[in-house]
Structure 1
Amino acid sequence: MNPIVSLLGRKLGVMVITALFLSMVVFIVLRMIPSDPLGMMLPPSATQADADLLRKALGMDGSVSHQYMVWLGHAVHGDLGRSIFFREPVSELLGVALPATLELVLVSLVMALLISIPGGIVLYLLDRKRGEVAADFFLVFLLSVPSFLWGIILILLLGVLFPVLPFMGRLDSSITAPHGTGFLLIDLLLSGQWSAWFDAFAHLLLPAFALALAFSPIIIRVLRSSLIDTATSQYVNVARLRGVPEWRVLLLHMLKNAALPTLTLIGVQFGFLFGGTLLIEVIFSFPGIGNLMVQAIKNYDLPLIQGVALVFCLMVLFVNFCVDGLYAVLNPRLRVS
């Protein structure tokens, strides 16, 4: 069997087992919280018989293991229950909020790469040279500022003092979002609404930039370290002896191999990037899955908390699976092992 296919098969099996284990942990932990979610669903005049009837209808009348098996059976078929607070199916709420968060995360990831790749190269070129101390200090400063603080700073600078970009919501209230994939940039592009597309993109810039500023410093450091390690490799020395210009050695030879550890880091750190959207979405009133999670926790909406937590777990596992697959394809040692 192809070693890459075998590796991905094992990774997929681990991903499924991990998802099941995490869903079980979340389910059990939420049941240990000393609060009754049925209290929000019943009117003040409800009797104990009404509560027992509703508990049975929701599958909450048995043991925790029985409740989990009932929930898992429905979840496999796409039924994650009904939100207690919003009075809507959880899957429909997630279907609206998840594309917004994914769009935000993808734009912020592109921004982070646009910052990190040149930043890593510049930091490598400054190694043991004048300006290295100042660059290291600036990088440590970036690492010390969390994403939500960047969000507040960007709102004050570019939204209040110099109002050049919008910082509330996902789209201007005067624009009607078209129905489609849920990804506004794609839906507006397909419908030909160019002014609305630029408005949606402008609404993404500040929250995505806040996430990118917090995410890019660690990528810069890893890329710089990888370039320093790669600089002494045999193939690099051979390329230099053959008279290949230094910029070609750096961009065409060193950068490609130094990108592999960076790619692995992006997969590992994606969970922090995805989780960082929670506070960012609250600060920017962005209608994504992070904002939905805050509403669910505030109102102790048990089915919605479970659904959002499951989606967070699945997204992180899926991205790590994709990164492992891409790493296997790009790494020649794995292809021939």
Structure 2
Amino acid sequence: MLRYTVKRLLQLSVALLGLSLLLFAWFKALPGGPENQMLPENATLDDRAALRESLGLNEPVWVQYLEFLQRVVRLDLGSSLSSGRPVATELADRLPATIELSLAAMVIAVGIGIPLGYLAARKRGTWLDFAAVSGSLIGICIPVFFLAAMLKVVFAQELALLPSTFRLSSGLQYTDVTGLRVLDGLITGEFNVAGDAFLHLILPAVALSSIPLAVVVRITRASVLDVIGEDYVRTADSKGLKPAVIRGRHVMRNAMLPIVTVIGLLLGSLFAGAVLTESVFSFGGVGSFVYQATQERDYPALMGFILVIAVSYVVLNLIVDLSYGLLDPRVRVRK
């Protein structure tokens, strides 16, 4: 397992290096150069020269790339053109909100999607299977921002059952430990804060989970159907093993490989998908910050966001690869 992990870490390093090259090339390829995008139209030649000097744009390309790598390693992503604060600080302040929302959405998608997909496979051809497949198609087709707006109108404005904006009610005092409001409330014993944060989390998490839930249902159903038809499952059944043992040891464990792959990719995509959802609910996470940066052409902020998203994808893929080795030891031998 150690050799398998080291090999995956080396592949991770290569992927991150390639990512840095792409980001550097994108920054250099901005129309008119980075200085034209980061300065107002009435900037003087001296202003442009000073900015080029501060960004190291007068150096050879390979020197600029090495300096860019050094800044990224130090998490020096420059300053936001919108707020004037360091991009790393902005992301650090807002990232916990996006992580909390993404994890809540994934819990919904996995907690409902895997059991529902399994039942749809076991009851293939029944009304339950038809309802699960039809529901998953609807979930994939509905745009997230439209579903978020509808949930907000119905449950927050019309029925007044749930809050519609922000992470906490106005004026509520809380102790910040991890940045995850629900978890912080439980850790510090501020259960009123945890409950209030949970209520604020429901609508955006449900909206954000719609597409991952639909995908998990369909992948689980297809994967379970493939495994159920295998010879080792029929052999286990003919031996008289208990259904619970067959489901857990022979069906679900082998069916989980493609499901884990999809979950890892979906979790990474949730960070990008949170942009629209957070904007609808004014959630205050990275998505809201990126939406504002897009409107104001805040390229340092956008580059920092792209870096966070890309690194999260790479790290999640590493976790998925390592989980393969735990679920199926044969993977470690083949890879």
Aligned residue runs from structure 1 range 127-206, under 5 A: 127-130=124-127, 132-206=129-203
Match in the other structure for 2:109: 112
Counterpart of 2:66 in structure 1: which amino acid? M
- 8 Å CA contact 1:8–1:325 kept in 2: the answer is yes
How many Å separate the matches in 1 of 2:263 and 2:41?
A: 50
In the alignment, is residue 99 of structure 1 matched against residue 96 of structure 2? yes
Match in the other structure for 1:122: 119
Match in the other structure for 2:227: 230
How many Å separate the matches in 2 of 1:139 and 1:326?
A: 26
Once the two structures are TM-superposed, the CA of residue 144 in structure 1 deviates from its matched residue by: 1.4
Once the two structures are TM-superposed, the CA of residue 82 in structure 1 deviates from its matched residue by: 1.7
Runs of 4+ in 1 over 4 A off after TM superposition: 35-47
Identity in percent: 33
Match in the other structure for 1:254: 251
Counterpart of 2:202 in structure 1: which amino acid? L
Once the two structures are TM-superposed, the CA of residue 174 in structure 1 deviates from its matched residue by: 1.1
Question: Per the alignment, do residues 54 and 139 of structure 1 end up closer, same or farther by CA in structure 2, a change over 3 Å counting?
Answer: closer
**Does 99-108 or 137-146 show the bigger shift?**
137-146
Match in the other structure for 1:314: 311
Match in the other structure for 1:242: 239
Question: Per the alignment, do residues 38 and 175 of structure 1 end up closer, same or farther by CA in structure 2, a change over 3 Å counting?
Answer: farther
Match in the other structure for 2:208: 211
Question: Per the alignment, do residues 293 and 64 of structure 1 end up closer, same or farther by CA in structure 2, a change over 3 Å counting?
Answer: farther
Once the two structures are TM-superposed, the CA of residue 118 in structure 1 deviates from its matched residue by: 1.8
Counterpart of 1:271 in structure 2: which amino acid? G
Counterpart of 2:162 in structure 1: which amino acid? L
**Does 241-250 or 195-204 show the bigger shift?**
241-250
**Does 97-106 or 20-29 show the bigger shift?**
20-29
Q: 1:271 aligns with which of 268, 271, 285?
A: 268
Once the two structures are TM-superposed, the CA of residue 26 in structure 1 deviates from its matched residue by: 2.4
Question: Per the alignment, do residues 263 and 173 of structure 1 end up closer, same or farther by CA in structure 2, a change over 3 Å counting?
Answer: same
How many Å separate the matches in 1 of 2:230 and 2:170?
A: 56
User: Once the two structures are superposed, what CA deviation does each residue of 1:54-98 show, in whole Å capped at 9, x if it has no partner?
Assistant: 331232334554433322212212222222221111111111111
Match in the other structure for 2:17: 20
- 8 Å CA contact 1:230–1:258 kept in 2: the answer is yes
Q: What is the number of equivalent residue pairs in this alignment?
A: 334
In the alignment, is residue 78 of structure 1 matched against residue 65 of structure 2? no
Q: Is the partner of 1:176 in helix, strand or coil?
A: coil
Gaps in structure 2 of 5+ consecutive residues: none
Once the two structures are TM-superposed, the CA of residue 44 in structure 1 deviates from its matched residue by: 9.0
Pairwise CA RMSD: 2.5
Gaps in structure 1 of 5+ consecutive residues: none
Q: Is the partner of 1:236 in helix, strand or coil?
A: helix
Counterpart of 1:122 in structure 2: which amino acid? L
Once the two structures are TM-superposed, the CA of residue 280 in structure 1 deviates from its matched residue by: 0.9
